[in-house]
Amino acid sequence: MFKPLSGRRVPSGVLGLRALVVGSVLVALSSCTYVKLLTQQPEITYDARLGAYSFVGPINFGTAERLRKEVPDGSKLIFQSFGGRSEDAQQIARWMKSHRINLTIRGYCVSSCANYVAGVPGAQWGQPAILLFHGGEQSTYVAPCAGLPGCRSAAASDRAAFAREFGLNPNFVVFSGRAVESVFAQRAATDGARRLPGLPLPYFWAPSREELKCFGVEAEVSSLADLPISDSARKWYFTTAELSPALQQEFGVMCAQFRSHVSQ
C-alpha cells in the first residue's frame, strides 16, 4: 500500500486520504502504476479493541468472495477503497445488505466504492470521509431523464438495476462521468493529463453532503477544503461549483427529477 507523505504519525483516515492524493497523481502519469494499484489485494484485518473488521485497498477479482469468507454475518466493518471492479463492488454491497454488516466508511471511497458500496442502507461515516466519483459503465441518462442529454426510456444495465434495488439515482453516476469529461477537456493541456486506453480519466468529482442526497445517500462527508490535499494535487479534484453553468443546471434538473420520482 501507499506510504504516508511524511514520518509524522497521523490518523489512519488521513493516511488513506494522503494515499489517494499520491495515487491520483500517479494515475495521470503512468498507466502501469494504475494497473499495479488495481491488482493489489486489499488488507482485511480484525481489531479486537474496536470489535471491528477493517478493509483497506482495491476491489478486485475475488474480493467479494474473500469478504464473505473472512467477515462473519452481523460484523462491524470499517471500509475504505479507491475502487476497482464494478461486479465485485455490487456483490459486496448486496452481501453487506443481506448479511447485516454494520458498515462504516472512513477515509476515501472512490469509483466503484462510491458508486455501489456507499449505497448500502444504514452506512455510517467515520471522519474524515470523502466520496469521489468519475463515472461508470453507463454513459447515457435513463428514465426519468426528460430534457437531459442522451436520455433513454429504458435501462438494461447492471448499474440501473442495482440503483433500483438500493433506491439510488443511476443518473448521478452518469452525470459524474459527464462532469469529469468536461473538466478533462478544460484542464488536460494545463495539468498534463492524458487519456490512456482502457483507463479512467484522472479527475475526481467530490459532491457535497447536500448534493449526495441526489444520489439517494445521506453521507456525512468532508469537504475538499478540510482535507490534507497539497496545492499540486488539488487540481485532480473538483466540486460542482467549478463546473460550467450549463452542467450545473443539468445537475439541478437531474436532482429535481430524482426527487420527484422518489416522492411518487
Q: Please write the tens of the pLDDT for every residue from 50-99.
A: 999 999 999 999 999 999 999 999 999 999 999 999 999 999 999 999 99
Q: Where are the beta strands (DSSP E) in the chain?
A: 43-47, 52-56, 76-81, 102-110, 124-132, 204-205, 237-238
Of how many residues is the chain composed? 264
Rounded to whole angstroms, how far apart are CA atoms 129 and 14? 9
Alpha carbons 42 and 88: distance in angstroms, whole number: 13
Residue 224: per-residue pLDDT: 83
Surface-to-core class of residue 87, CB atoms within 10 Å of its CB (0-12 exposed, 13-18 middle, 19+ buried): middle
- Cell representation of residue 129: 470521509
pLDDT in tens, 119-146: 999 999 998 899 999 998 778 888 888 8
Q: Over its length of 264 residues, how does the chain's per-residue pLDDT go in tens digits?
A: 322 222 233 334 444 444 444 344 334 334 455 556 656 789 999 999 999 999 999 999 999 999 999 999 999 999 999 999 999 999 999 999 999 999 999 999 999 999 999 999 999 999 889 999 999 877 888 888 888 988 876 555 666 788 889 999 999 999 999 999 999 999 999 998 988 887 889 999 999 999 999 999 999 998 888 877 777 788 899 999 999 999 999 999 999 999 988 876
Give the model's pLDDT for residue 154: 56
Query: Do 110 and 90 form a contact (C-beta atoms < 8 A)?
Result: no
Q: Say how far apart CA 180 and CA 203 lie, in whole Å.
A: 6
Phi first, then psi, for residue 204 (nearest 5°) are -135, 135
Query: So what's the pLDDT on residue 8?
Result: 30
pLDDT at 28: 39
